[in-house]
A = this chain, B = another copy of it.
Amino acid sequence: MTQTSRISIFVMLFVLIALNATAQKITPYLQSTKKILTFPSKVLNETRTIYIHCPKADSTNPNKTYPVLYLMDGESHFDMLSQYSDYLGRWDVNVIPQMIIVGIVNTKRTRDLTPTESIINYFGLPDTSKVSWMKPSGGNERFLQFIREELMPYINSHYKTEPHNILAGHSFGGLAAVYCLFTHPEMFQMYISVSPSLWWDREYVLKLADQKLKKGAVLNKTLFLSDANEGVSDSSTFHTNVLKLDAILKGKTLTGLNYQYNYYSHETHMTEPLPAYYDALRFIYKDWKNP
């Protein structure tokens, strides 16, 4: 290599470095507190995908523990709940505790989130088609067993959790939340049920609620319930049924139940989760004070 060509290379390198110093640069935006857990479940006999969002470590309090919100339809609402909990739990906002969000991604949604095997559709009519979207159904008991016996122990052993769990869901997920409240109340302290599909199997869960709740009983739970303007073909089955559940809860004159029902007249079935999950977090922690 000649002296001249060596100098040329140096000049080129210098120019490249100088250019680089003034050039725009694109890098990935990583949210390091979110992880994907691949979880082989024996109960469900399949591998499940779980999204986990954890608050950033607090260096002044490394042993800090967090409540855990278990969220159904993880693929739809995990980012939303993570964002709400992060923002509202920020030191300069500070109206709810920081929390761990566990988003369960669906495989067979209807199977996992419905309490009974049924082919009775939204309009109360049997869906007899062979490839009905309603098949398979009735696996909610097993799905809750998966949460109770496999997922919760995993989360509690791998994260700094408080013994304080919240279950949140929308539509079939809202149905599953209400079903869980009346059948396994030991699992969660707080329930968020956004537009529960109470129409399922000729209002099976409404009948269950009426049976399970004794008049004047003690129910030390927090429940946020909501629905929206979501009539299908002039029907308003969601609204009618949520009002029925509201009437059952109020008619039983329960003790200890911390309960709110919100109706979103300007929201649809699909837009409702955004304001409803926000209001739900504000409601369930309305008496919370940062310790």
The one of B22, B36, B38, B40 in contact with A40, judged by C-beta atoms closer than 8 angstroms, is B22
The one of B27, B28, B39, B92 in contact with A24, judged by C-beta atoms closer than 8 angstroms, is B39
**Distance of A38 Cα from B20 Cα, bound (Å):** 11
Q: Is the CB of A84 within 8 A of B274?
A: yes
Write the nearest CB–CB distance from A101 to chain B, whole angstroms.
11
Q: Is the CB of B79 within 8 A of A274?
A: no
Asked if A227 is an interface residue, CB under 8 A from chain B, the answer is no
Q: Is the CB of A36 within 8 A of B26?
A: yes
**Within A78-98, which residues are at the interface with B (CB < 8 Å)?**
79-80, 83-84, 86-88, 90, 92-93, 95
A residues with a Cβ closer than 8 A to B are 21-32, 34-40, 51, 53, 79-80, 83-84, 86-88, 90, 92-93, 95, 154, 268, 270-271, 274-275, 278, 282
Given contacts A93-B271, A274-B84, A274-B278, contact A27 B35 (CB under 8 A): yes
Chain B residue with the shortest CB-CB distance to A266:
B282
**Distance of A25 Cα from B95 Cα, bound (Å):** 33
Q: Is the CB of A36 within 8 A of B29?
A: yes
**CB-based closest 10 A-B pairs:** A29-B34, A25-B38, A93-B270, A27-B36, A83-B83, A22-B40, A26-B35, A79-B83, A24-B39, A29-B36
The one of B24, B40, B90, B95 in contact with A23, judged by C-beta atoms closer than 8 angstroms, is B40
Q: Is the CB of B27 within 8 A of A38?
A: yes
Interfacial chain B residues near A37, Cβ < 8 Å: 24-26
Q: Is the CB of B28 within 8 A of A32?
A: yes
**Distance of A271 Cα from B88 Cα, bound (Å):** 7
Q: Is the CB of B28 within 8 A of A35?
A: yes
Q: Is the CB of A24 within 8 A of B36?
A: no
**Distance of A268 Cα from B96 Cα, bound (Å):** 13
9 more contacts with CB within 8 A, not counting A92-B270, A95-B268, are: A24-B40, A25-B37, A26-B36, A27-B38, A28-B35, A28-B36, A31-B31, A88-B274, A275-B275
The one of B26, B27, B38, B275 in contact with A278, judged by C-beta atoms closer than 8 angstroms, is B275
**Distance of A254 Cα from B37 Cα, bound (Å):** 55
Write the nearest CB–CB distance from A287 to chain B, whole angstroms.
15
